[in-house]
Structure 1
Amino acid sequence: MTRRIAYLPLATYPEAIADEAIRAAAAFAGPLGCALSATTFEVDLPRTTSVLGDLLIDIPGLVQANEERSRAECHRLQGLIGGVAASHLDVQCTARKVAWGLELDDAAAEARYFDLALLPWSGETTAAQDMAQVVVFGSGRPAILVPPTARPAPLEHIVIAWDGSRVAARALGDALPFLAEGGLISVLTVRDEKPLSGSDLAGALASSLLKRGFNAKPLETTLGKRTIAEALQDTAQSNGAQLLAMGGFGHSRVRDFVLGGATKGILTQLRLPILLSH
C-alpha cells in the first residue's frame, strides 16, 4: 500500500516564520491525504576571530548564543507541529544542523524525496520568500504555499491558471491527485495579459478534463488595472476555490532569481493556498 508524504522545511535563523503560518501548513497535509515529514534546520555559524573585534564584542559568545537560540527554536517548532498533528495526522519531525547559508539548498534537495512540499507563508518575513523560491525552482517537486489564513478542508474546488504552457500542464498534473472525489476544476485564462496560442484555451482544457471523467469548467477574466497575480487570486477567491495551481516561471543561477510577473507577485502577496510547479 502506497501513501503520499508531504515535506515541511523550517529554517530557524536568522528568523523563523510565524507560528500561525506553520500551523496552517502542517494542518494542510491532512485533507490532502498526506503524512507529514517536517525538518527543522539548526544553524551552524562560522567561527571568526579578530583581536580588535574580540576586545570590543564577545564574538564567540554571540555565535554560541545564536546557535543555542536556533537549537531551542528547533525543539519548540517540533512541539508546535506535534500539537497540530496530535489527533489526526501521521507526522515525523527531525532536526538537522547545517552551515549558515546552506539550509535552503538542503531543503530543496531533501524535498526531492517526497510527493510535495508544504511551505508556510508569512508576509512579515523574507524567510518565507527565500524558502519558497529555492524549493520551487530547485527541488523538481510541486510546492504548496500556505498562508496563515488557510483552513484545512478537502480540496473540492481547484483553479488552474492556464496558458497552455509546459509549466501550466505540469501544475495541472501535480494538482489533480489532491482534488477530492467529484471536485471541480476551474480552468482560468487571463485574456489581456499576454498573447495566447489559441482563442479558447480554457474551453479546450475543460473539455479534455470532462472527457477524462473530471468535473471541469472554463473560466476567463481580464487584467484591467490589476497585476496578473492579483487577477489570478481575485478570480480564484471570488469563485470559491480552495487552491490555485499554476506554473512557476523563472530560473536561478547562484541564487539570483529571475521570476516571471505572476510568480513574483504570488511570492510577495499570497492570499490563498497556491500550488507552484516548475
Structure 2
Amino acid sequence: MKLQAFLPLVTYTDPNSDAVAANATAVAALLGADLGVLAVNVTIPQVSNALSRFLIDVPDMIRQAETTSRKHGERLIAAVEEAGKAAGVAVSAETIAESQPLLSATAALQARYHDIVLIGLETDNPTSRTTAESVVFGSGRPVVLLPETVDAGAFDHVAIAWDGSRVAARAAADARPFLARAKKVSVLTVADEKKLVVEDGARLAESLRRGGIEAEAAVLHGKGAAVARTLQDGAKERGCGLLVMGGYGHSRVRDFVMGGATEGVLKSLSMPVMLSH
C-alpha cells in the first residue's frame, strides 16, 4: 500500500514560507508517498453598511485580503509542485476557501483522509502554530512538524521520546514507516522529568531490536531545562534527523490544554518532530 501524505498550506493571515515545499516533498520522497496539498484560503463575509463602504471602504479591504490569501496559496502550490517534480513525488493540489475561524479546523478535517500529515511550522508565525495544534489534536493522524530553518534530511537516525505512556507507545507505533527506513534509532528518556524506571527506555530499544531495528537507549538529564529543549538538544547531539513524540493534551471547547513537552515543541521547534496524539 502506498502511503498518502498530506500538506495543508497556511495562506492567511501569516502564510507559510517557501521552505515548506522542499521539506515536505523530501519527507514524502523518503516515505515513497504521494503528496496531497491543500491551500486553505480565507473568505470573509461582506459587510453591508454605508459607513463601511464610504468611510473606510471595508468591501475593498475584504477583496484585497482574499486576493492576497489566494495568491499566497497559488505561490506555495507552485513551489510544492516544482519541488515534487524534482524529487519524483506525485503531487495533487487543491484549494478551499473558508472563513477565518474555521481555517485550522478545515485543515484538521481534511487530514483525516490521509496517512500522515506534514506541516510547516515557522518561528513567529501564529497562523502556522494554530494550524499545527488543530491538526495534531483534531486529525487523528501522526503529524510531522517541519521548521523552516532546518532542511529535512534522510532521517537515517530517528529519536523516540519515551516515558512508557500510552501516548508515547502510540507515537512509536505511528512512526514505523520512519523506523523501518532508519539505520539507527535512539530511545530517549528524560530521567528527571517524571518518576520513571530508567530501564523503560532499554525495554523499548530491546523490543525494536527484536523487530530488526538497530536501537539503543539513552537517558537525558535536563538539569532544569524545559523538556522539549532537552529532548531536541539530546536528539541533535546524537545526530538524529527526526524526533518522535507523543502529543499530550486534549481539546475542551476548542481550547487546547497541552503537556509541557508538546507546548515546548510547538513554541520552539528546532528540528523535525513527529507528534502523535
TM-score normalised to structure 1 length: 0.95
Residue 54 of structure 1: CA displacement? 2.9
In the TM superposition, 1:91-106 aligns within 5 A as 91-106=91-106
- Secondary structure of the structure 1 residue equivalent to 2:25: helix
In the TM superposition, 1:28-47 aligns within 5 A as 28-47=27-46
Partner of residue 266, structure 1: 265
- Secondary structure of the structure 1 residue equivalent to 2:265: helix
Partner of residue 67, structure 1: 66
CA distance in 2 between counterparts of 1:191 and 1:48 reads 56
How many residue pairs get aligned? The number is: 276
Partner of residue 202, structure 1: 201
CA distance in 2 between counterparts of 1:179 and 1:210 reads 11
Q: Are 2:217 and 1:215 aligned?
A: no
Partner of residue 132, structure 1: 132
CA distance in 2 between counterparts of 1:111 and 1:179 reads 22
CA distance in 2 between counterparts of 1:233 and 1:154 reads 17
CA distance in 1 between counterparts of 2:64 and 2:149 reads 33
Partner AA of 1:151 in structure 2: D
Q: Please say if residues 6 and 116 of structure 2, whose CA atoms lie closer than 8 Å, have aligned partners that are also in contact.
A: yes
Partner of residue 251, structure 1: 250
* Closer/same/farther in 2, CA of residues 44 and 241 from structure 1, 3 Å limit: same
Q: Please say if residues 236 and 244 of structure 1, whose CA atoms lie closer than 8 Å, have aligned partners that are also in contact.
A: yes
Residue 182 of structure 1: CA displacement? 5.9
Residue 115 of structure 1: CA displacement? 0.8
Residue 48 of structure 1: CA displacement? 1.9
* Closer/same/farther in 2, CA of residues 237 and 199 from structure 1, 3 Å limit: closer
CA distance in 1 between counterparts of 2:110 and 2:206 reads 37
Q: Please say if residues 28 and 151 of structure 1, whose CA atoms lie closer than 8 Å, have aligned partners that are also in contact.
A: no
* Closer/same/farther in 2, CA of residues 80 and 182 from structure 1, 3 Å limit: closer
Residue 34 of structure 1: CA displacement? 1.4
Q: Please say if residues 159 and 244 of structure 1, whose CA atoms lie closer than 8 Å, have aligned partners that are also in contact.
A: yes
Partner of residue 185, structure 1: 185
- Secondary structure of the structure 2 residue equivalent to 1:31: helix
Deviations 1:147-170 (A, max 9, x none): 123334432211100000011001
Q: Please say if residues 46 and 100 of structure 1, whose CA atoms lie closer than 8 Å, have aligned partners that are also in contact.
A: no
Deviations 1:102-150 (A, max 9, x none): 1211111111111110001210311121011000000000000011233
Q: Please say if residues 11 and 72 of structure 2, whose CA atoms lie closer than 8 Å, have aligned partners that are also in contact.
A: yes
- Secondary structure of the structure 2 residue equivalent to 1:30: helix
- Which deviates more from structure 2 when the two are superposed, residues 135-144 or residues 250-259? 250-259
- Unpaired stretches in structure 2, ≥5 consecutive residues: none
Partner of residue 111, structure 2: 111
Q: Please say if residues 38 and 92 of structure 1, whose CA atoms lie closer than 8 Å, have aligned partners that are also in contact.
A: yes
Residue 180 of structure 1: CA displacement? 4.7
- Report % sequence identity: 40
- Which deviates more from structure 2 when the two are superposed, residues 173-182 or residues 114-123? 173-182
CA distance in 2 between counterparts of 1:153 and 1:17 reads 20
Deviations 1:37-65 (A, max 9, x none): 00001211011233333332101111112
* Closer/same/farther in 2, CA of residues 182 and 271 from structure 1, 3 Å limit: closer
Residue 76 of structure 1: CA displacement? 1.4
Residue 83 of structure 1: CA displacement? 1.4
- Secondary structure of the structure 1 residue equivalent to 2:175: helix
CA distance in 2 between counterparts of 1:209 and 1:82 reads 36
Partner of residue 233, structure 1: 232
TM-score normalised to structure 2 length: 0.95
Partner AA of 1:164 in structure 2: G
In the TM superposition, 1:124-163 aligns within 5 A as 124-163=124-163
Q: Please say if residues 21 and 83 of structure 2, whose CA atoms lie closer than 8 Å, have aligned partners that are also in contact.
A: no
CA distance in 2 between counterparts of 1:156 and 1:275 reads 15
Q: Please say if residues 31 and 152 of structure 1, whose CA atoms lie closer than 8 Å, have aligned partners that are also in contact.
A: no
Residue 181 of structure 1: CA displacement? 4.1
CA distance in 2 between counterparts of 1:203 and 1:66 reads 53
Partner AA of 2:141 in structure 1: R
In the TM superposition, 1:2-17 aligns within 5 A as 2-17=1-16
- Secondary structure of the structure 1 residue equivalent to 2:31: coil
RMSD of aligned C-alpha atoms?
1.5
Q: Please say if residues 155 and 182 of structure 2, whose CA atoms lie closer than 8 Å, have aligned partners that are also in contact.
A: no
Structure with the larger helix share:
2
